[in-house]
Structure 1
Amino acid sequence: TYIGNYFTSLEMVGATLTVMALDAELKRLLDVDVDCPARL
């Protein structure tokens, strides 16, 4: 899954950058339109 807590920090500032290899299959899957009725 692309979503989840890999690590968390309390009361700390910073940023996280995730890098992955993108081939045609992954690009096609990530570009699919979605409808999420429970969006927060």
Structure 2
Amino acid sequence: MQEILGHARVTTTERYTHVAGLQVKDASERIGTAVWGDDD
């Protein structure tokens, strides 16, 4: 991944994958709420 993105340091790649992971989690929670309703 680091090489494909052209990052000199793996820490840069890790930063982006961490952010992407948070976005995926947020999106999945929103979709789950839209489909199944709010569990609160």
Q: Which structure would you say has the larger Rg?
A: 2
TM over 0.5: no
TM-score for both structures, normalised by structure 2 = 0.28
TM-score for both structures, normalised by structure 1 = 0.28
- Indicate the structure whose relative CO is greater, using CA pairs within 8 Å and at least 6 residues apart: 2
Bigger fraction of residues in helix: 2
